[in-house]
Amino acid sequence: MKRSPTTRPPTQTARPRYAVVAQALIEDILSGRYPVGATLPTEQNLCKQFDISRHTTREAIRRLQALGLVTRRAGVGTIVQADRIAQRYVQVGDTVSDLYQYAQDMALNALEVSDIEADDATAALQGCAPGQAWARLQGLRGMDPDSLPMALTDVYVARAFRGVLGDIDGSGLPIWSLIEARYGVSPTEVRQQITATILGRDEAAKLHATQGEPALRITRHYLSDPIGTYEVAINLYPAGRFSYSNTLRTDPAATLS
Amino acid sequence: MKRSPTTRPPTQTARPRYAVVAQALIEDILSGRYPVGATLPTEQNLCKQFDISRHTTREAIRRLQALGLVTRRAGVGTIVQADRIAQRYVQVGDTVSDLYQYAQDMALNALEVSDIEADDATAALQGCAPGQAWARLQGLRGMDPDSLPMALTDVYVARAFRGVLGDIDGSGLPIWSLIEARYGVSPTEVRQQITATILGRDEAAKLHATQGEPALRITRHYLSDPIGTYEVAINLYPAGRFSYSNTLRTDPAATLS
DNA sequence: CGCTATTTGTGCGTATGTATC
DNA sequence: GGATACATACGCACAAATAGC
């Protein structure tokens, strides 16, 4: 039961040393003693301050990294990135496709394809550069062309990626994955907005639904790091044919063993 | 430039050893050589196989952990959790409160509180143990009691947490955070479902809206690890008073330094 | 039940490499 | 080049959790 003096002096608590140090540092960050942008003491100094080995110091700081509180760079130091602990949740599901429940059998069948300038759709594409060149596709999403369609979809892609619009008909793959495959551009950020509306006359006709029926409108903006928004998808789901659901789970990487 | 023979024989690549080992293990997992549920070789064996120190082995496996591919437990081993590298997206926003846009000014004002058994609400609480004891609160959510309410809310909490229902009136805090503060239980998982419906007569009256108007119904289940579902919240938002939006970003923590 | 073997977790010491200023 | 700070890598020992006898 006794510990050898070379390892650890007896303590009342069963907490690991690195956890004690990590908590102390976290409290210093939360309290503002180390504000965002500040540099934490060097490993060597922390070793002296807490009388621990460098291994233990690094293990403690690893915890701060996992919590997103600090980043480290050789030759620079440990920089405070945030002054509060984020409850980190990750979306369950491994791909955006899973996240957004686009099963393979929900193929998109094109009704109409056209080229437009951003002015025409400024309202729909809010936040995009005006005057930008886009290509637009409207289609119906559903199991097969005969049965009741599940959604009316409007997709806008940057003109540069226009080529994918020819690939999607019935492929059952989400547009962004086609762009990924063909142009190597994948989203670094996805913004989503969900509202309730009622179906207009045109929309109802295309969906074989009745005008005035409630519907879910899901608008998604796909962004990639340097180029910005390159795809906007607007889906209109008549109530009862679809429900959006997702699951968030506490980030397993944030606990780090 | 030359390395001492005790550290590392010269190699062409500048890649760290742990990275080489990590990649080899990752490929073995992706290829199915170590299927989901299997145990990876022990640290000792990996040390021998790759002729590396235990330190390096652990650093390599740390990468697999950060990618969510494996979990580890003392006395058991390293268990494969997934057979593909997830494109990890995290919700932007640091708290669930931010995630779900519950600003402080969207206080909940109670209309009615009651105790129920699970049978009464089995449909609403699907997936929960039947016969379980719940407490229910119905209220209106909005800026202040005078102006137009934003939503009609039904909240079910496990009977054990009944006490929080007295705290919420006008507090402006989400229920789960009250439970967290009072009972120390915080969600490890949140499930959310969004559908479009139309307002019924009762609902419309309480919301000062008109019957038949479209609305967004957002149902959230809060789960905590051992105890299961302990809170269910059903929010009904008349169209136009609210829109749900969220943002996903590629996980910065998945790269780990 | 206690005991043991196994496996990961924690902790220390040391040395050298690499990035930055 | 030199100084500094983190990154990588070797070694060792003991603790804690688990599974099986």
Residue B7 belongs to some domain of the structure: no
Choose the final residue of a domain: A39, A55, A80.
A80
Q: Give the least confident one: A35-44, A56-65, B57-66, B221-230.
A: B221-230
Please tell me whether residues B119 and B229 are part of one structural domain.
Answer: yes
Residue A137 belongs to some domain of the structure: yes
Please tell me whether residues A109 and A222 are part of one structural domain.
Answer: yes
Please tell me whether residues A71 and A135 are part of one structural domain.
Answer: no
Counting as low any pLDDT under 50, the low residues of chain A are 1-12, 93-99, 102-105, 257
Mean pLDDT score, B157-165:
90
A256/B contact by beta carbon, under 8 A: yes
Residue A132: what pLDDT?
Answer: 79
Residue B10: what pLDDT?
Answer: 42
Please tell me whether residues A207 and A157 are part of one structural domain.
Answer: yes
- What is the pTM (predicted TM-score) of this model? 0.72
For residues A146 and B4, which has the higher predicted lDDT (pLDDT)?
Answer: A146
Closest nucleotide relative to residue A54's CA, C1' based: C12
Residue A4: what pLDDT?
Answer: 39
Please tell me whether residues B46 and B101 are part of one structural domain.
Answer: no
Which residue range forms the structural domain that includes residue B216? 93-245
Name the one residue in this structure whose structure tokens are 């022990």.
B42
Mean pLDDT score, B43-49:
95
Residue A53: what pLDDT?
Answer: 95
Give the gap in angstroms from C-alpha A93 to the nearest C-alpha of chain B.
Answer: 8
Residue B87 corresponds to which tokens in the numbers above? Answer: 């494109």
- Kindly determine whether the C-beta of residue A48 is less than 7 Å away from any atom of nucleic acid strand D: no
Residue B172 corresponds to which tokens in the numbers above? Answer: 């402006």
The helix or strand, by DSSP H or E, that contains position A58, with its residue range, turns out to be helix A54-66
Please tell me whether residues A98 and A218 are part of one structural domain.
Answer: yes
Residue A162 belongs to some domain of the structure: yes
Please tell me whether residues A188 and A224 are part of one structural domain.
Answer: yes
- Kindly determine whether the C-beta of residue A74 is less than 7 Å away from any atom of nucleic acid strand D: yes
Residue nearest to nucleotide C9 (CA to C1'): B74
Residue B227 corresponds to which tokens in the numbers above? Answer: 């105890």
Residue A256 belongs to some domain of the structure: no
Burial B54-81 (b: 16+ CB within 10 A, else e): eebbbbbbbbbbbbbbbebeeeeebbbb
* CATH number where B69 lies: 1.10.10.10
Q: State what percent of residues in chain B have pLDDT above 90.
A: 37
Residue A88 belongs to some domain of the structure: no
CB-CB under 8 Å, A66 with B243:
no
Query: What is the C-alpha to C-alpha distance for residues A110 and A103, in angstroms, rounded to an integer?
Result: 17
- Kindly determine whether the C-beta of residue A76 is less than 7 Å away from any atom of nucleic acid strand D: yes
Residue B4: what pLDDT?
Answer: 41
CB-CB under 8 Å, B72 with A94:
no
A32/B contact by beta carbon, under 8 A: no
In this predicted model, what pLDDT tens digit does every residue of A112-171 receive, in sequence order?
898 988 776 666 666 666 677 899 999 998 766 677 888 899 999 999 999 999 888 777
Residue B6: what pLDDT?
Answer: 41
Residue B149 belongs to some domain of the structure: yes
Query: What is the C-alpha to C-alpha distance for residues A72 and A188, in angstroms, rounded to an integer?
Result: 22
Please tell me whether residues B163 and B70 are part of one structural domain.
Answer: no
Please tell me whether residues B159 and B205 are part of one structural domain.
Answer: yes
- Kindly determine whether the C-beta of residue A42 is less than 7 Å away from any atom of nucleic acid strand D: yes
Please tell me whether residues B156 and B200 are part of one structural domain.
Answer: yes
Q: Is B40's pLDDT higher than 60?
A: yes
* CATH number where B125 lies: 3.40.1410.10
Task: Pick the closest to residue B236 from B213, B221, B218 (CA basis).
Answer: B218
Q: How many domains does chain A have?
A: 2
- Closest CB to A214 among B198, B237, B243: B198
Please tell me whether residues B41 and B136 are part of one structural domain.
Answer: no
- Phi/psi of residue B129, each to 5°? -65, 130
Residue A164 corresponds to which tokens in the numbers above? Answer: 């994918």
Chain A residues touching B216 at Cβ < 8 A = 194-196, 216
Residue A8 belongs to some domain of the structure: no
Please tell me whether residues B230 and B103 are part of one structural domain.
Answer: yes
- Phi/psi of residue A218, each to 5°? -115, 115
Residue A70: what pLDDT?
Answer: 93
